[in-house]
Amino acid sequence: MSTVDSELRVGMVGYAFMGAAHSQAWRTVNRVFDLPTRARMALICGRDESKVATAADRLGWDGYTTDWRDLINRDDIDVIDVCTPGDSHAEITIAALAAGKHVLCEKPLANSVDEARAMVAAAAKAQALGVRSMCGFNYRRVPAVTLMRQLVESGRLGVIRHVRAVYLQDWIVDPQFPLVWRLQRDRAGSGALGDIGAHIIDLTQYVTGQRITGVSAITETFVKERPLPAESSGLAASTGNGSVATGEVTVDDAAVFVARLDGGALATYEASRFATGRKNALRVEINGSLGSVVFDLERLNELEFYEASGPTAEQGFNRILVTEGDHPYMSAWWPPGHIIGYEHSFTHEMRDFLEAIATGTDPTPSFADALQVQLVLDAVVRSAELGSSWTEVEPTLVTVAA
């Protein structure tokens, strides 16, 4: 049975982009929030000993290991933070939960619905022993997004009728960009859909309190062959005759779909890594019978809010600067008007996770919440394969073994 004391010793698997973001959050969380337990950055894990040793020193970890199984089997590790590609999420997470470790797993939860269901079942079994688990959808923890949810939840927008969500990037527009793991289905599960589309699916469901029940989708892979990286599974980047060896891109470059939510709202979603000029552009607009609210990640500390109840001559979208001490999470940071950034969403994530473990409550989003996002992703894929056919999202039914 898992126990909580004044210190939770964290072991993290992965040290690249997400590993760095999570490390910054673990370093910071107890320095800005007054929590009932402290996180100790005990061990970081990666397969390349030289690289993981460097990462441990640079990111602030006490030590490192090259085998995640060693990490999980240690008695001096309480929490496992999974920041690896999606193809290893299920194996690492299920083993960690069985070993009595609390688990934070990056999104999307898994590469398939079957893997996600197995992870949910493992989490439910571990929960009975006091072991907690959470999926890392960090944009929920942006203060403006949390405030957005509060406005909807309190009825300020009335009946929700429309949801519009886009997440646009352009980092693979160049056809000579190499075939990295995010462009391979067996490693990543899907492309723009799972990588960034998962974020807007979770964010809109979180903000509205409604779940997607069905979709009609199209996906596209614009560049179908890419150069192999200099070192890729032992394959040389050159064919030997001067030409560059290439490999097949097996994921989507873009996904667009319409959806219906269980509260009656209609929704549109677009996720693309081919939106030239857009670096990390996430935007969500919610329209209700009494008003509308808009969040734009490129203006992370703001909301646009419209209320239809005022005099016609005074109506219009108002800018809310989300930096006040009574705004979500903001009391831990700076005086009003002093903005925060992307990295703070991860610090808030760790804050909520640590508090849930220490108080014996269930953190959110749960693995079951993340499974529901996985089921939407699966419905989008199936719809696209069927030529945009309307496709129902499967229910989140999970059997937990005794």
Q: Is 238 helix (H, G, I), strand (E, B) or coil?
A: strand
- Mark whether 162 and 246 lie in a shared domain: yes
pLDDT single digits (tens) 165-206: 999 999 999 999 999 999 999 999 999 999 999 999 999 999
Residue 340: partners with Cβ closer than 8 Å, 6 or more residues away = 143, 300, 301, 323, 330, 333, 334
Q: Are 358 and 37 in contact (CB under 8 A)?
A: yes
CATH number at residue 39: 3.40.50.720
- Mark whether 272 and 322 lie in a shared domain: yes
How far apart are alpha carbons 138 and 143 in whole angstroms?
A: 11
Residue 84 has a pLDDT of: 97
- Mark whether 131 and 165 lie in a shared domain: no
- Mark whether 203 and 327 lie in a shared domain: yes
The residues with which 290 forms a beta bridge, in sequence order, are none
Least confident of 83-92, 222-231, 345-354: 222-231
Phi-psi region of 189 (alpha: psi -120 to 50; beta: other; left: phi over 0): left
Task: Specify if 166 maps to a domain.
Answer: yes
Residue 290: pLDDT over 90: yes
Share of the chain above pLDDT 70, in %: 95
> Nearest 5°: CA angle at 183, between 181 and 189?
85
Residue 233 has a pLDDT of: 43
pLDDT single digits (tens) 51-63: 999 999 999 999 9
Last residue of a domain, one of 139, 155, 186: 139
- Dihedrals phi, psi of 273, to nearest 5 degrees: -110, 20
CATH number at residue 227: 3.30.360.10
**Helical (H) or strand (E) element with 383:** helix 367-385
Please give the mean pLDDT across all residues of the chain: 95
At position 17, the amino acid (one-letter code) is F
- Mark whether 268 and 157 lie in a shared domain: yes
HSE toward the beta carbon, residue 8, CA cutoff 13 A = 34
Containing structural domain, residue 219: 143-299+301-340
- Mark whether 17 and 44 lie in a shared domain: yes
What pTM was computed for the model?
0.94
Which H, E and C letters describe 5-46, residue by residue? CCEEEEEEECCCHHHHHHHHHHHHHHHHCCCCCEEEEEEEEC
Place of tokens 């859909």: 193
Of 87 and 243, the structure prediction assigns the larger pLDDT to 87
CA dihedral sign, ordered 338, 339, 344, 345: positive
How far apart are alpha carbons 89 and 133 in whole angstroms?
A: 13
Residue 392: pLDDT over 60: yes
Residue 6 has a pLDDT of: 85
CA dihedral sign, ordered 24, 28, 29, 32: negative
Closest CA to 14 of 125, 136, 191, 112: 136
How far apart are alpha carbons 305 and 313 in whole angstroms?
A: 16
Residue 345: partners with Cβ closer than 8 Å, 6 or more residues away = 138, 139, 140, 141, 142
Task: Specify if 370 maps to a domain.
Answer: no
- Mark whether 17 and 118 lie in a shared domain: yes
How far apart are alpha carbons 162 and 72 in whole angstroms?
A: 45
Q: Which two tokens stand for residue 273?
A: 């890594």
Last residue of a domain, one of 106, 139, 172: 139
Residue 66: pLDDT over 90: yes
Task: Specify if 62 maps to a domain.
Answer: yes
pLDDT band at residue 236, thresholds of 50, 70 and 90? Answer: very low
- Mark whether 148 and 276 lie in a shared domain: yes
Task: Specify if 322 maps to a domain.
Answer: yes
Residue 235 has a pLDDT of: 44
- Mark whether 126 and 163 lie in a shared domain: no
Task: Specify if 366 maps to a domain.
Answer: no
Task: Specify if 288 maps to a domain.
Answer: yes
Q: Is 228 helix (H, G, I), strand (E, B) or coil?
A: coil
Task: Specify if 348 maps to a domain.
Answer: no
Of 384 and 230, the structure prediction assigns the larger pLDDT to 384
Residue 99: pLDDT over 90: yes
Task: Specify if 374 maps to a domain.
Answer: no
- Mark whether 110 and 162 lie in a shared domain: no
* Count of the separate structural domains present in the chain: 2
Residue 3 has a pLDDT of: 47
pLDDT single digits (tens) 11-47: 999 999 999 999 999 999 999 999 999 999 999 999 9
Average pLDDT of the residues in 346-366:
98
Q: Which two tokens stand for residue 19?
A: 């590993």
Q: Are 169 and 272 in contact (CB under 8 A)?
A: yes
- CA distances 169 to 18, 143, 273, 287, 342, Å, are 17, 23, 4, 25, 16
Residue 401 has a pLDDT of: 61
pLDDT single digits (tens) 238-289: 555 557 899 999 999 999 999 999 999 999 999 999 999 999 999 999 999 9
pLDDT band at residue 310, thresholds of 50, 70 and 90? Answer: confident
- Mark whether 218 and 281 lie in a shared domain: yes
How far apart are alpha carbons 24 and 263 in whole angstroms?
A: 38
pLDDT band at residue 234, thresholds of 50, 70 and 90? Answer: very low
Residue 8: partners with Cβ closer than 8 Å, 6 or more residues away = 37, 38, 39, 40, 78, 79, 102, 354, 357
- Mark whether 241 and 226 lie in a shared domain: yes
Last residue of a domain, one of 139, 174, 207: 139
How far apart are alpha carbons 377 and 371 in whole angstroms?
A: 10
The residues with which 227 forms a beta bridge, in sequence order, are 246
